[in-house]
Amino acid sequence: MLPIQLKNLERKLPAEAPVELHHADSRALGFADASFDRVLIFFLLHEQPEEVRRATLAEALRVLRPGGRLVVVDYHRPNYTHPLRLLLGAVLRRLEPYALDLWRDEVFTWLPAGAARLVEKRRYFGGLYQQLRIERLG
Ligand SMILES: C[S@@+](CC[C@H](N)C(=O)[O-])C[C@H]1O[C@@H](n2cnc3c(N)ncnc32)[C@H](O)[C@@H]1O
């Protein structure tokens, strides 16, 4: 995220929220291995070319303890009959070209082999968005 986005987030968080904000590259978070129980990647992967996306996911798993959960929320291929499918496809092709990778392939494709298992996949708004719950294997 940009520093301005972190500032906005800080403003919105309740004062007592048990949250620390850090500005970092998603490929090199700077935390020790296995230091978190949960990692959330929220609408980031669609911004990144494949090699960066792979590095982001590998880094998320690195900082997650074995048995910990990675949650990914991002675009997904809408149902064939979705009324926005054609329009959104054209907009993304022009403005967010990497997002179409998320229409074509499963996020699991870009995770390091054997490092995680998919616990649950949910799709929202006719498939427009997805939420994945992924467990880091030991
Ligand atoms: C679509 S925005 C979503 C931001 C935030 N997750 C939210 O929901 O408000 C994607 C953000 O990812 C940031 N971003 C892109 N590549 C990044 C990277 N390698 N490391 C950290 N942030 C990155 C962009 O600067 C942008 O702020």
| Cα–Cα distance, 31 to 76 (Å, whole number) | 29
pLDDT at site 107:
97
Distance 2 CA to ligand 1 centre (A): 7
Provide the CATH topology of domain 35-136: Rossmann fold (3.40.50)
Percentage of the chain lying above the pLDDT 70 cut: 100
Whose CA is closest to 82, among 47, 132, 123?
Answer: 123
pLDDT value of residue 65 = 98
Any idea where the domains of the chain sit in the sequence?
A: 35-136
CB atoms within 10 A of CB 27: 16
Residue nearest to atom 9 of ligand 1 (CA): 5
Mutate to test the pocket of ligand 1, among 4, 5, 23 (most ligand atoms within 8 A of CB): 5
Q: Which amino acid is at 37?
A: D
Residue 106's nearest CA partner among 72, 81, 56, 135 is 72
Cα 46 to middle of ligand 1, angstroms = 9
Confidence (pLDDT) at 138:
86
* Per-residue model confidence as pLDDT tens digits over 46-94: 999 999 999 999 999 999 999 999 999 999 999 999 999 999 999 999 9
How do 129-136 and 36-42 pair as beta strands? Answer: unpaired
pTM of the model: 0.94
